[in-house]
Amino acid sequence: MNSTIEPEQAVEVAEEQYATFYVGNLLLGVDIRQVQEINRQLDVTNVPQAPDCVRGVINLRGEVTTVIDLRTILGMEQAEVTRTSRNLIVNSNGESVGFLVDRISDILTLRSDQIGPPPTNIDGVQGRYIFGVHTLETEILVLLNVEEALAVRANDAQ
């Protein structure tokens, strides 16, 4: 399906790997270099007065790590913890942050020319943390800009 790319571009484009996961029905991906680990440590400690999207904090081998409910950032209802729920620990500005996601999917290798711009009808706050989409056979993979997503919620909090 990606056969339409022009050859001379293909030489230049770099390949990137993306860890993909589901939040609700949405398939999301983040640059795998930002992912530190994926774990099942779902026993979080609530943080009073924290913004809505903060699920709580966990003990990540001695480091107190904030877990963020990606659903609330994406404007969905708060997540229910299920059998497939995982924490996707990403590295953001030198500190670990966990994303609570509903289900982990595959690792995809994509060339940058396989990534399209976000649809124009997504805009505003949510548009900021989507830096691209990739069309799979049955689904659309939305690529998440971790820094922006975290920044959005930091701003919300203020």
Partner 1 sequence: MSCEDELLDEFVVESNEHLADIENQLLSIEESGADVDVDLINEVFRGIHSIKGAAGFLGLTKVNDLAHSLENILNMMRNHELVPNSQMIDIMLRAADRLQGLINDVSSSNDEDVSSHITELENIATGTVTESKAPVAQVTSEPSVAETPSDVESTKAAEDDLDAQIARAFAARDEKASADEAQQQTAATEPSAAQAPTPQKVDKKSSAKKDSQEKKAPETSIRVSVGVLDRLMNLAGELVLSRNQLMQAIGSADGNSLDTIASRLDQVTTEVQESIMQTRMQQIGTVFSKFPRIVRDLSGKLGKQCALNIEGKEVEVDKTIVEAIGDPLTHLIRNSVDHGVEAPADRTKAGKPEAGTMDLRAFYQAGKVRIEIEDDGAGIDPEKLKQKAISKGIITQERADQMSDREAVRLIFHPGFSMAAKVTDVSGRGVGMDVVKTNIAKLGGTVDIESTVGRGTLIVITLPLTLAIIPSLIVQCGEDRFAIPQVNIVELVRVRGDELAERIGRVQDAEVLRLRGSLLPLIRLSEVVETKRTESDCDAAASSAASNCEALNIIVVETGEQSFGLIVDGLHDSEEIVVKPLSQHLKQCRCLSGATILGDGHVALILDVAGIAAHEEIQCDQELNEQKGAEAQLGDEDSQYMLLFSNHDDEHFAVTMDIVSRIDRIRADQIDAVGGQELLQIGRATMPLIRLENTITARRPEAKSRLYVVVFEASGKEIGLVVPTLEDIRDVTTSIDETTFTERGIIGSMVLGEKTTRFVDLFQVAELAHPEWFEREEVVDQTDDEPPMILLAEDSSFFRKQVAAMMSEQGYRVIDCEDGLVAWETLQSNEFEFDVIVTDIEMPNMDGFEFTECVKQSQWSHLPVIALTSLAGSADIQRGIEVGIDDYQIKMDRDKLLNSLRNFAGKKAGNNRRELQTV
Q: Applying CB under 8 A, which residues contact partner 1?
A: 43, 45-52, 54, 57-59, 62-66, 68, 78, 93, 95, 97, 150, 153-154, 157-158
Instruction: Indicate the residue among 141 and 144 with the shorter CB distance to partner 1.
Output: 144
Give the shortest CB-147-to-partner 1 separation in angstroms: 12
Instruction: Indicate the residue among 20 and 66 with the shorter CB distance to partner 1.
Output: 66
The set of residues, in sequence order, having a beta carbon less than 8 Å from that of 116 and lying 6+ positions away, is: 132, 133, 134, 135
Give the shortest CB-68-to-partner 1 separation in angstroms: 7
The set of residues, in sequence order, having a beta carbon less than 8 Å from that of 46 and lying 6+ positions away, is: 56
Instruction: Indicate the residue among 16 and 148 with the shorter CB distance to partner 1.
Output: 148
Instruction: Indicate the residue among 12 and 80 with the shorter CB distance to partner 1.
Output: 80
Residue 11: both structure tokens together: 């030489």
The set of residues, in sequence order, having a beta carbon less than 8 Å from that of 110 and lying 6+ positions away, is: 15, 16, 17, 18, 134
